[in-house]
Amino acid sequence: MTNTHHTRCIMVQGTMSGAGKSLLCTALCRIFAQDGFRVAPFKSQNMALNSYVTRDGLEMGRAQVVQAQAAGIKPDVRMNPILLKPCSDTGSQVIVRGEVRGRMPAAQYFRYKKQLIPEILDAYQSLAEEYDILVIEGAGSPAEINLKAEDIVNMGLAQMVHAPVLLAGDIDRGGVFAQLYGTVALLEPQEQARIGGFIINKFRGDPEILRPGLSMLEERTRIPVLGVVPYLNVDIDEEDSLASCLSTESVHKPIDIAVVRFPRISNFTDFTPLESHPALGVRYVSEVAALGHPDLIVLPGTKNTVEDLLWMRQNGLEAAVLKAASAQTPILGVCGGYQMLGRTLRDPAGTEGNISGRTLHGLGLLPVDTTYTAAKTRTRVQAMVTSEPWSGACVDGYEIHMGDTQVQGQPFCRLQNGVGEGCCQGLVWGTYLHGLFDTGELTVKLADWLCQRKGITLQQAAPVNHHTYLQRQFDQLADGVRRALDMQAIYRLMEESR
């Protein structure tokens, strides 16, 4: 395959997961867009539990959604043709072009994935026909020597689409020279030749101290270092289990919001807008001792509601949440967390894989009952919250879940067509809607109510639309990365490969 004649591309690979590939791709999308190009992101295969529903009701990974937003375009499933959503330690739900293909154990998918190459290339080629530049993100490391023969996301993809590669290493974790040199050493000669430059990422301190090491690295690999990117303090959605926000255990703000960190937590970016409010401190807890006495407890989404409910039951967090609810602590459940707050969870067909034919009791804090079915709900939603004390807040979000929930109580909100969604009872609220806080309206109402409840006087704040906030963060990210990288060299790499 060759690139469409007018399209240029650049690929960012990393020495490991968490090296900063997604953020660097986001920055490049923004920089190229600022420079006047039509630019789109691409990642052939993504493994993440933070997914997103497009306007046409299809599912894709959140990293490419953020990159599309940075590029100033609408997310499109072609940007992430394969999404793997782990549902156990050894298997994943396989989503291709936004639709579920089924569940597969890792070994089965490893044998199957080569069949997906035509669909990957078709998605890539159709984007290449519409955009000037494609920014491609790799996954994990290209030097996973046990997986290289069947690679469709790192060097295998780079060779298929003739992409020059930037290899990023994370200096914040230490050992960056060994990361970069070792990665190159484990590649085949033709793969080594594809690397056009190194990027040292997440650096704190004086870059001059690095100069001797950079020179030695360049001499030994014959690959130039194209930039040392500082550790940038930007607030941009992260998508996977390595996200730094999930390690937040304490925040010094007036209001304490505790989000239960399920082992299979998904779509935790729902709560990112809360973190930008000056009064709201968001922390993640996975054990009873860390829960304390928060002002609000949140049960977030999860890829396996039943397993995570049993986990919460076994480690004592369920009992702690029930005790907090009886002491009038407000509880909010989103998606899987909403299902847990109900009375029963039924799985007659074994959709969740582990309670087939029987019923599991929920926390019993909401009068709702959930039955799992094979069908997956994926839809964009606009709604207005009708439950007190947040009534009147407009929500622009999406539903993405397995299971049908029967509600016998008051709805949390009403959809555009007037149909009730979710449920509320006393100080407990549940909803399937992701993106609850993105418009900023519910964030302000929540903060005002929690502060009033705690006797704190806050200066009235106007709602901050999360999209508008993100655009400022993208510009800040792009400015920092542009200053650090040799952009002329990157443009040359793209031109030469074309």
Catalytic residue among 413, 423, 424, 434: 434
Cα separation, 38 vs 30, in Å, equals: 10
- Output the six-digit token pair for 463: 């709602």
Nearest CA to 430 out of 272, 299, 310, 313 is that of 299
Given the residues 335, 413, 423, 424, the one annotated as active site: 335
**Whole-number Å distance between alpha carbons of 402 and 305:** 10
335 is an active site residue? yes
43-58 exposure pattern, b = at least 16 Cβ within 10 A, e = fewer: bbbbbbbbbbbbeebb
Contact 345, 329 (CB under 8 A): no
Q: What is the gyration radius of the CA atoms in the chain, in angstroms?
A: 23
Is 25 considered catalytic here?
no
Contact 362, 333 (CB under 8 A): no
Alpha carbons 65 and 368: distance in angstroms, whole number: 32
Length of the chain: 498
Q: Give the Cα separation of 465 and 481 in Å (integer).
A: 25
HSE (side-chain half, CA atoms, 13 Å) at 211: 3
Give the contacts of 86 (CB within 8 A, at least 6 positions apart).
47, 49, 92, 264, 303
**What is the per-residue DSSP string for 349-393?**
T-SSSSSTTSEEE---SSSEEEEEEEEEEEEEEEEEE-STTSTT-
DSSP notation for 15-78: SSTTSSHHHHHHHHHHHHHHTT--EEEE-SEEE-S-EEE-TTS-EEEHHHHHHHHHHTS---GG
Q: Which residues are catalytic, by number?
A: 335, 434
